[in-house]
A and B are shown apart, each in its own frame.
Chain A
Amino acid sequence: MNAFLTVLQYTVAAAFLLLAITAIVDALQHRERARTYLALSLLCVSLVPAIGLVQVALRTRSAALTSITVLAFLGSGCGILLFRSCFIPLSRRAVALAGGAVLVSVLLVTVFGLPPTSRLPAAYQPLVPDFLILTWVGLVGEPIVRFWLAARGRPPVQRARLRGLSVAFAVLIAILLVGTVAGNRLQSPEARLVTQLIALAMVPVLYGSLAQPGLMRRQWAMSEQGELQQAIKDLLVFSPDRETAAARAVRWASRLVGADAAFILDVDGRPLAQVGMPASALADVAAAWRQTHDVDGPSLRRLLPEPAILLALPVEDSLGVLGALPGPFTPVFGVYEVGQLGGYASAVAASLERVRMTERLAAMERAKGQFLNLASHELRGPVAIIRGYMAMLERGTLGPLNEEGLRAVRVMSGKATEMNALIEQMLDAARLEEGRLQLQLRRIAIRTVVERTIEMIRPLADEAHPIVLELRGDPPVVSLDVERVQTILTNLVDNAIKYSPAGGAVECLVTATEESVLIAVHDHGVGIASEDLPRLFSRFGRVSSEATRHIQGIGLGLYLARELARLHGGDIHVESTPGGGSTFTLELPRGAPVDDPAPSQLATGLAAGG
Chain B
Amino acid sequence: MVSTRHAGLRYPGWVVFAGPGGASPGRGLPAVWRDLLPDRAAATRTPIDVLIVEDDLAIAEMYRIQLEADGYGVRVAGTAADALTAIDRCAPDLVLLDVLLPGRDGFAVLEHMRLAMDAAPPVVILSNYGEPAMVDRGLSLGALDYFVKSRVTPDLVSRSIPEWLDRARVNDD
A-side residues, CB < 8 A to B, are 377-378, 380-381, 383-385, 387-392, 395-400, 420, 423, 427, 431, 436, 438, 440, 600, 602-603, 606-607, 609-610
Known contacts A377-B129, A392-B155, A397-B66, A384 near B59 by CB under 8 Å: yes
B-side residues, CB < 8 A to A, are 5, 29-30, 33, 36, 56, 58-59, 62-63, 65-66, 69, 128-132, 145, 147-156, 160, 163
- CB-CB under 8 A from B163, the residues of chain A are 602
Known contacts A391-B154, A602-B163, A606-B156, A399 near B30 by CB under 8 Å: yes
Among A383, A388, A399, chain B packs the most CB atoms within 10 A around the CB of A388
Q: Which of A385, A398, A423, A438 contacts B59 (CB 8 A)?
A: A385
Among A380, A420, A427, A431, chain B packs the most CB atoms within 10 A around the CB of A380
What separation, in Å, do the CA atoms of A438 and B129 have in the docked complex? 15
* Cβ-defined contact, A381 with B56, below 8 A: yes
* Cβ-defined contact, A381 with B149, below 8 A: yes
- CB-CB under 8 A from A427, the residues of chain B are 130
What separation, in Å, do the CA atoms of A132 and B36 have in the docked complex? 128
Q: Closest approach, in angstroms, between the C-beta of A486 and any C-beta of chain B?
A: 13
Q: Which of A381, A387, A396 contacts B153 (CB 8 A)?
A: A387
Known contacts A392-B154, A438-B132, A398 near B145 by CB under 8 Å: no
- CB-CB under 8 A from B56, the residues of chain A are 381
* Cβ-defined contact, A399 with B33, below 8 A: yes
* Cβ-defined contact, A420 with B151, below 8 A: yes
- CB-CB under 8 A from B160, the residues of chain A are 602, 606
* Cβ-defined contact, B62 with A392, below 8 A: yes
- CB-CB under 8 A from A380, the residues of chain B are 128, 148-150
Q: Closest approach, in angstroms, between the C-beta of B108 and any C-beta of chain A?
A: 20
* Cβ-defined contact, B150 with A383, below 8 A: yes
* Cβ-defined contact, B33 with A388, below 8 A: no
What separation, in Å, do the CA atoms of A426 and B62 have in the docked complex? 26
Closest to A436 in B: B131
- CB-CB under 8 A from A388, the residues of chain B are 59, 62-63, 66, 153-154
* Cβ-defined contact, B128 with A609, below 8 A: no
What separation, in Å, do the CA atoms of A389 and B56 have in the docked complex? 15
* Cβ-defined contact, A600 with B150, below 8 A: no
Closest to A386 in B: B150
Q: List 5 A-B contacts (CB under 8 A).
A: A381-B150, A384-B150, A388-B66, A392-B153, A610-B153
Closest to A385 in B: B58
* Cβ-defined contact, B150 with A423, below 8 A: yes
What separation, in Å, do the CA atoms of A286 and B2 have in the docked complex? 44
* Cβ-defined contact, B5 with A610, below 8 A: no
* Cβ-defined contact, B147 with A378, below 8 A: no
- CB-CB under 8 A from B69, the residues of chain A are 397
- CB-CB under 8 A from B30, the residues of chain A are 399-400
- CB-CB under 8 A from B152, the residues of chain A are 606, 609-610
What separation, in Å, do the CA atoms of A436 and B129 have in the docked complex? 14
* Cβ-defined contact, B155 with A391, below 8 A: yes
Known contacts A385-B62, A388-B62, A436-B131, A602 near B154 by CB under 8 Å: no
* Cβ-defined contact, A381 with B5, below 8 A: yes
Q: Closest approach, in angstroms, between the C-beta of A362 and any C-beta of chain B?
A: 23
* Cβ-defined contact, B156 with A392, below 8 A: no
Q: Closest approach, in angstroms, between the C-beta of A422 and any C-beta of chain B?
A: 11
- CB-CB under 8 A from A440, the residues of chain B are 132
